[in-house]
Chains A and B, each alone.
Chain A
Amino acid sequence: MLWFSLLVLIPLAAVVVKAAGGGWETFADAVTNRQTFAALRLTVLTSVGVTALNMVMGTIIAWVLVRDRFPGKAILDLVIDIPFALPTIVAGLVLLSLYGPQSPVGIHASNTRVAVFLAIAFVTLPFIVRTVQPVLEEMERDVEDAAASLGASRFTTFRRITLPTLAPAIFAGASLSFARGISEYGSLVLLSGNLPYRTEVTSVRMLTYLEGGDTASAAAVATIMLVVALAAIVSLDIIQRRVARRG
């Protein structure tokens, strides 16, 4: 408990205290700084986009992994975990080799916003798949069969039976994925080029403050990020309860 406080709680508290120590002015300065605001907006919007994509793709991937059977599925299962285990800087390099200047397919996406999207999609890929998969595995197929035998179409079965069961897992994964998305740093360093106003994300902005010795502004931005992450997790939790109730 003491170790946990020393390692996690006190340092995080220090960030908030440091940010609050500057009063509202530090926050106001940080947010009204056009470059910081651009970085915040890019980060949040891209993460929302990626999370939406992940909610669809993650569910489909989980469905294929659980319900489908074909040779090479075990490898697919392994591939899902690669973004999680791969060092983030290596993830950036990896994407750069396919979508960068030396791309063998001629797609040159580095230093653009597409690159930011790609990198975040890469690192957040496993979250929804891995939260939905166990739920789908445990789910009784009898219920779906019953619905189908009562004349429900495949789509109706999916919408009324399968989706409500999976919803909590999808939203839990989505909040993890969003939190990870807005905090991503390592994979973006090489790939996005960190152009101010265009492809600079919040983490990079924070590090710039930090390297310039402006810890108060860095702490203010960090606090904003913590609040955004928290707000996202709470609101996704509320949506998830609504969906579960309606289903």
Chain B
Amino acid sequence: MASAGVQAPRDGIPWVKWLMRLLVIGYLFFLVAWPTSLVAKNTFANGFQGISDALDDPDVVHALQLSGQVAVAAVLINLLFGVGVSLLLVRFDFPGKRILNALIDVPLAVSPVVVGLALVLVYNGRYGWFGPWLEDNGLQVVFAKPGMIMATAFVALPLVIREVVPVLEEMGDDQEQAARSLGANAWQTFRRVTLPGIKWAIVYGVVLSLARSLGEFGAVKVVAGNVGGETTTAPVLVQQKYQNFQQETAYSVAFMLAFAAVLCLIVVALLRPKEAKK
């Protein structure tokens, strides 16, 4: 506020500024901040009782473990694939590059239910395109872990790529060429020159993907089916518990998921300035 007077000629009429400020804070407060804080309040209505009760429930523990495993697997896949595609998009020219670039964003625009449906149609063990063949070779995809990992990987696909591509573009390839002319092979160049440059971009991408993967609901629900709790992930469990009127458990699990998500955001927020200083 003290600076408002000094900046007045640039920042304009004070009441407009205050109005905008108030409008934004109010909107965000009612739409996001207040509801989110209520989940925390509902969870801790009876102190830590709700959380400890939830953690005693084997279903909850199983769902959390499953969510964790699926998310980590999907993030690892997206990490490898994401860095590969980013390099491909920035460093190489090939026909269809623009199409690939546009297609990368498709998972952001497609409904999770459609993602699930699409995967079921192709990898279903009975009438899918590849499903029967894979099943004969002992790999069940749909209604099992591999399908859930694929669904999660699909949904979180663009996140790593969209973080890494701009950094790669900005970096240019002078240093890589220098390394190569000094006799480094492709792998050495990547490990010693490219990787340190995109390190932070990768970290953001991974943290964001992790947040997204942990919470994926629609796609996983369709692909996982409902095999007696075997394939119930944490978000699906929240829905089931809520609809079974076990609201306290639902809120506890929801709080844990929300907490993990907000934690991921805080990690990203703390990391960003570090890179700017570098």
- Chain A interface (Cβ < 8 Å from any Cβ of B): 1, 3-4, 7-12, 14-15, 18, 57, 60-61, 63-64, 67-70, 74, 76-90, 93-95, 97-99, 104, 118, 121-122, 125, 141, 145, 154, 176, 179-180, 182-186, 189-190, 202-203, 206-207, 210, 215, 218-219, 222, 225-226, 229, 233
Contacts and interface: CB of A to CB of B under 8 A. Distances in A.
Interface string B41-58: 010000000000000000
Given A12-B110, A64-B21, 4 more contacts: A76-B24, A90-B261, A94-B35, A186-B112
Contacts of B111: 182-185, 202-203, 206, 222, 225
A4 to B, nearest CB: 7
Contacts, number: 223
B218 A219 contact: no
A63 B3 CA distance: 18
Nearest to B3: A69
Interface stretch (B117-125, B171-179, B188-196): B117-125
B109 A87 contact: no
Contacts of A63: 20
Interface string B84-117: 0100100000000000100100111111111111
A77 B221 CA distance: 31
Contacts of A215: 117, 120-121
A217 B17 CA distance: 51
B186 interface: no
A58 B10 CA distance: 22
Q: Which 3 A-B pairs have the closest CB atoms?
A: A87-B215, A183-B111, A11-B118
A180 B10 contact: no
Nearest to B41: A97
Contact of B121 (A15, A61, A122): A15
Contacts of B150: 7
A63 B23 CA distance: 12
Given A8-B103, A10-B122, A60-B24, A82 B261 contact: yes
Interface size class of B (residues with CB under 8 A): 35 or more
A90 B235 contact: yes
For B17, B243, B251, B261, which residue has the most chain A Cβ atoms within 10 angstroms? Answer: B261
A183 B1 contact: no
A102 B33 CA distance: 17
B112 A87 contact: no
B39 A93 contact: yes
B36 A86 contact: yes
23 contacts: A7-B150, A9-B103, A12-B106, A57-B27, A63-B20, A82-B32, A85-B211, A85-B215, A85-B261, A86-B261, A87-B234, A87-B257, A87-B261, A88-B218, A89-B235, A89-B236, A90-B238, A90-B257, A93-B251, A98-B35, A125-B32, A210-B117, A210-B222
Interface string B213-252: 0111110011000000000001110110011000000110
Contact of B36 (A80, A94, A99, A185): A94
Residue of A1, A60, A93, A218 contacting most chain B CB atoms (<10 Å): A93
Contacts of A219: 117, 121
Contacts of B115: 11
Most buried by B among A86, A190, A207, A225: A86
Contacts of B85: 4
Contacts of A118: 31
A97 B214 CA distance: 22
A58 to B, nearest CB: 10
Contacts of A76: 24-25, 28
A180 B42 contact: no
A64 B211 CA distance: 27
B269 A77 contact: yes
B106 A8 contact: yes
B154 interface: yes
A85 B238 contact: no
A183 B219 CA distance: 11
A240 B214 CA distance: 35
Contacts of B243: 190
A190 B242 contact: yes
Nearest to A86: B261
B64 interface: no
B153 interface: yes
A183 B114 contact: yes
A74 B30 CA distance: 18
Contacts of A210: 113, 116-117, 120, 222
Contacts of A83: 32
A201 B208 CA distance: 28
A239 B238 CA distance: 41
A10 B211 CA distance: 26
B144 interface: no
B265 interface: yes
